[in-house]
Amino acid sequence: MLSDFFRENGIVHQSSCPNTPQQNGVAERKNRHLLEVARALLFASKVPNYLWGEAVLTAAYLINRVPSKVLNFKTPIHIFKECFPNDRVSNDLTLKIFGCNAFVHEHKNISKLEPHAIKCVFVGYSPTHKGYKCFDPKNQKMFVTMDVTFFENKPFFDTHLQGGNLNEDSSQTEDMSFFNSFQTEDMSFFNNLSLPVSQSSKTYTSAPTKNDHDSLSNPTPVMSSELGESEPTFSHEENNENLENNDNDDLIEMPQNNESYKDNRFEAGNKTWKEKVFVRKNHKESDESTSQHCHESEPEDDQLPKKRKGKSISVSESRILYPDIDDPVAVRKPVRSCTKYPLSNFISYSNLSSSFFAFTSKLSSVEIPKNVQVALEVPKWREAVLEEMKALEKNKTWNGSIERYKARLVAKGFTQTYGIDYSETFAPVAKLNTIKILLSLAANLDWPLHQLDVKNAFLNGDLEEEVYMDIPPGFEDKFGSNVCKLNKSLYGLKQSPRAWFEKFTYSMKKQGYIQGQADHTLFTKFSQDGKIAVLIVYVDDIVLTGDDIVEMALDFEIKDLGSMRYFLGMEVARSKDGIVVSQQKYILDLLKETGMSGCRPADTPMDPNAKLWEEGSVPVDTGRYQRLVGKLIYLSHTRPGIAFSVSVVSQFMHSPFEEHLEAVYRILRYLKANLGKGLFFKKTSERNVSIFTDADWAGSVTGRRSTSGYCTYVWGNLGTWRSKKQGVVARSSAEAEFRAMAQGICEGLWIHRVLEELKMKIELPLKLYFDSKAAISIAHNPVQHDRTKHIEIDRHFIKEKLDAGIICLPFVTSSQQTADILTKSLARLTFEHLIGKLDMIDIYAPT
């Protein structure tokens, strides 16, 4: 009927492929949510499975009335009413415990001595009436009423095995009619049997229908005509009949958990009660071996059904096949793997020292709260908030007098006005390239690396403007509805970074440190015996190294964090072999955030045949794309292998499409395969700077611009690198290479300047390795050609450095050009070869 409707109206009906739930992820996740809640309702009150439909409806009713974090802690029904205020929805009723006893009052004419209520089980809420749904299992009748009395402290079904179908009214005395047929002396023996509780009080049946009402109300076990002499097996006609129609081949027949067959057998006249119990097959065993054992243990009894799915086995053989059969289901059930590519296949901590392993484990367990309300609920974070407030008062951030509320001057950064409550805001931060140069020096010179943290750094800055601050959330009772006038800077103010850095610079110079010019956050102090102390600051995080580290007396409180282990999201591990810097936690958090923890890994960060255009098929969320790419840009500071790929995807941040997002996912898949790979700074005998520079001519398919790439080695270790699209179109490959050469020389000169400020030994000339003979020839040729007119400035710049002996241009073959990995996407073998030349190692790699 639906197909005819589609055909008449010209509708093309598309459905997902079989066995591919990932094509319908949203519906599958919601279906799982409903199923989990429904299963919890059934298990908690021991409700039989045939009422699963009512459990699902009740689960949906409850989910729609539970606040959701995604909806800013509003309920879905509340959001629905806001969007559709004129639509009528079911009235909200007082919630009751699913599966509890419910006595529905009868209103028909009955005598005074007859029951005035019917005992039912509460099964949910009516979607069309303002009433509760109560089911009478005995009479197979559903009531929708408000005239009902609930006994929520007692479930209707007293005992019930999980997953079984049990007789509905466990309180009815007729359920015991079978056992009442025994003599008193027989009952004393029966009470000593080690049967499960549920079996001694209930009979398992199929889900009730109108046709089998009699079997539901009067369950009668089937007796076999003969008593077997061998170890007992159990049979039940209804169960065998159900199994014939059951497609679950994972069920095999098992006897009850009794010590011997004598305890499983009791006589009633000349008849023996035989009951079957079906358990799941142990998937650890092969299907072939299981079927073979079951076949060998099958008794030759003509009384047993000929046609059945399960095969009966003896108690002793069941102990051999399933030694853990007595264990709880949660214990003996194997752990399911939700993915073919679990993270455990790509990361291991066996190579770490015990102290660094403990540190890494602790680091992975820390989660940063999303807002102050969440932080106040966690004891550790609440202590941090209170400590921050104490620091504000101790530092006299605001004065004692309370000013009247001034809406325009509230100290919120996004409400500040330039020229009124702030002026200059720029404040330098440490260059990550400078930090990597210091790590190379520390590895070669055996310098210690100490990490310091300035407590409440921004509170130390002095304000020149008049600024007012709103009361922090949670402290309104103490200050009322007024505002505070700030005497010192505070986090969130636009001028706070600049005010803090000026205070820090003044304090360091007073201690005798010299501020660097190549990097203004680098401070050095030289002693009379030629030793040095080096300090670099990134806002309030400080790294202190050198061979003359002394205690500093600063104007603000500093916390010593010990040896450098975790700095700006980078994990630092040190051994006698060198220093390793990685970002495995950063990558794990990124995979978790994007839901790609179980994704299939990739060998390279970008498909070498992929071409990304500005326009695509389907646009994607710009904000989400920009956040992902921004995190990858930061990650590329320790992962040169993804520098080119990240440079490409960052060119489409203004208008991303599905093709661009797929390229981002490809980078994440590559990162999963190399979670712990990082930079390795080792001790070498080299004291020079080497630069590898390359360019990919007209590699961009959108504007035909070339891509420059360079990487530098400082004292034998990889120090800096970059991949960047050139600003203009190059008319020839030599021109593109020549522009890349100029960029590489600029980077080498900056490194040379940093080393000079540190008074470190450096061998000249700087070696600039190049694979373009044409570009090398142009650099050495003093004659001006028409082909070099438009790059005349770069040509004169390079020629000047060559003549001064600062650089030299040795030739290197393309196969040995390390910078090639920064200019284009490569095939797997070439990519892995060049990654090996970058001296990167993975201390988290599985053994």
d(CA 545, CA 535): 6
DSSP letters for 406-427: -GGGB--GGG--BTTTB-----
Q: What is the pLDDT of residue 24?
A: 80
Residue 543 is predicted with a pLDDT of 94
Phi, psi of 695 (to 5 degrees): -145, 145
Which residues partner with 713 through β-bridges?
A: 690, 718
Q: What span, in angstroms and rounded, lies between the C-alpha atoms of 646 and 625?
A: 12
Q: Which helix (H) or strand (E) holds 100?
A: strand 100-105
Q: What is the CA radius of gyration of the chain?
A: 38
Residue 628 CB contacts under 8 Å (≥ 6 apart), including other chains: 594, 664
CATH of domain 684-812: 3.30.420.10
CA-to-CA dists, residue 485 to 28, 391, 464, 467, 469, angstroms:
54, 16, 13, 6, 6
Burial profile 622-644: b = 16 or more Cβ within 10 angstroms, e = fewer: eeebeebbebbeebbbbbbbbbb
Residue-level pLDDT at 546 = 92
**Which class for 228: exposed (0-12), middle (13-18), buried (19 or more C-beta within 10 A)?**
middle
What pLDDT, on a 0 to 100 scale, did the predictor assign at position 825? 92
Backbone phi, psi, residue 555, to 5°: -85, 10
Amino acid at 738: F
Q: What pLDDT is recorded for position 482?
A: 77
What tokens were used for 404?
């009247």
The pLDDT of residue 395 is 64
**Phi, psi for 537 (deg, rounded to 5):** -125, 135
Listed in order, the ranges of the chain carrying CATH 3.30.420.10 are 684-812
Spans of the chain, pLDDT less than 70: 88-91, 159-338, 364-366, 370, 388, 391-416, 421, 782-790
